[in-house]
Chains A and B, each alone.
Chain A
């Protein structure tokens, strides 16, 4: 006897194993972006690996999600979800499989970024507890963004639109404090960057890695994550139920 969630998760892992380019993309792209900002732009940008790493952790999470939306959507459009629905598989199992697979892929990309960062001379002053905080927040973000992406994947009409739906998640980090401090941005963009959800999350990660997180960032960061997760979960569940 195997729990349906485990069966589903194993199915998702098989998908990833059969289609390794998606993981390759999810891991490679953030690393390439990192090398670009730290090496290629180098002095012209002079943010340095210590500044860039927190934002790139977030980028690593977001990059992996595009393929999640597409894979959820093809489950819907190819009728497999309907097959599971008439089989009395617990409704949560199908989506839980996708969420867990997505979080684990994300962690692979995050680990790669951290590894490359250290290789480039990243020297955080975080304590063990701070590191736990970093891991916790990244997992929470990955989980929250995962649910939101799954909801988008379920709601999209076709795999193409599903891929497109996740684009904002990939774009948002660039309009945040990920790569450059918001006070150096132009008017309009600056206000947007300061108030968009990713900025407090990045600032919290940055604070934790410097060993000095500020409550002013931590609280909105957690609030955004919990909010995303809740909205994503409810949206995904209701779409899952409705869409036949």
Chain B
């Protein structure tokens, strides 16, 4: 009907008196990757649950694949695939049996099912462990098996709820390339994540979710323009040194209280060496030096004026950021 795979307007959901979704509008074009970015507790999983017919919204209208989620749940389920936050594989079954289970439940014919299982095992590099119970799989393998199970039904729209949370960097890359392949095949992806770089890498559009509300939406570039870029932070021991450094580095922003200077930089060794050389020319020494890449925390600070810490009240791995501090001798 439209070229939107998912549309939702004024989505509301509360558990008892705690408001989780407070009037959300979403429009996802068919064949694109849409990413919902937010910290733990922002309402990402609730959004996925509501969009995938797992739980009922208190208010608002949702259409997925052109069907109304409230009245045509069956048709919606036939069109979608969902990979939840925790790999939902049957641990007592082998990888192959897990896939066969999906084949049987999708009512595929024996021949087509057999081909499908073999093809998915191959594609997700699970052939060697196909006969082993899923309980022996690593986290990355489980996620892959989970996604492979989702693909058995040939869904046109796939929901991925934090598909790489808890994965090592290598498995994360593998997952990303699988997602890219899916999109190339014309599938629409609705992806939730708490990693800015993941949304940046994969998404055509990003919506930032904060306390049940969308605080920003746009292409990754539009969004990044609103937040500080990668920069080097220099900390000095005296105000005089800070003054001197600020004079020779005109692009920098100073913080007089913390005695720090923020210098835009791509964080690469070449740029950092040039910066340090420049300080050296003027015989200036910084007491502390760190390279800072924007993370979810920066996005939130820029968009909402508060950090994710204030939101959740506990540390999450999203907050660890990517700051490396090197204390100068």
A residues neighboring B (CB under 8 Å): 1-2, 4, 7, 11, 14-15, 18-19, 78-80, 82-89, 244
Contacts and interface: CB of A to CB of B under 8 A. Distances in A.
A83 B88 contact: yes
Interface string B137-180: 00000000000010001000000000000000000000000000
A88 B74 contact: yes
Say whether chain B's binding surface is mostly helix, strand, loop, or mixed: loop
B82 to A, nearest CB: 5
A86 B52 contact: yes
A1 B106 CA distance: 9
A54 to B, nearest CB: 35
- Which of A84, A89, A244 counts the most B-chain CB atoms under 10 A from its CB? A244
Interface stretch (B30-38, B90-98, B234-242): B90-98
Contact of A244 (B54, B74, B104): B54
B324 interface: no
B225 to A, nearest CB: 36
Interface residues of B, number: 32
B92 A88 contact: no
B90 A87 contact: no
Given A7-B101, A11-B101, A78 B106 contact: no
B101 A78 contact: no
B19 interface: no
Contacts, number: 60
Given A14-B92, A86-B54, A87-B77, A79 B97 contact: no
Contacts of B323: none
B179 to A, nearest CB: 19
B123 to A, nearest CB: 20
Contacts of B109: 1
Interface of B: 49, 52-55, 74, 77-78, 80-82, 84-93, 97, 101-102, 104-107, 109, 133, 149, 153
Contacts of B86: 78-79
A30 to B, nearest CB: 25
Contacts of A88: 74, 77-78
- Which of B49, B105, B109 counts the most A-chain CB atoms under 10 A from its CB? B105
5 contacts: A4-B105, A15-B92, A82-B84, A83-B82, A86-B52
B108 to A, nearest CB: 9
Contacts of A4: 105
Contacts of B80: 86
B49 A244 contact: yes
Nearest to B100: A7
A7 B105 contact: yes
Contacts of B88: 78-80, 82-83
Contacts of A11: 90, 93, 101
Contacts of B93: 11, 14, 18
A2 B97 contact: no
Nearest to A85: B54
A2 B84 contact: no
A1 B153 contact: no
B307 to A, nearest CB: 29
Given A2-B104, A7-B104, A78-B86, A86 B77 contact: yes
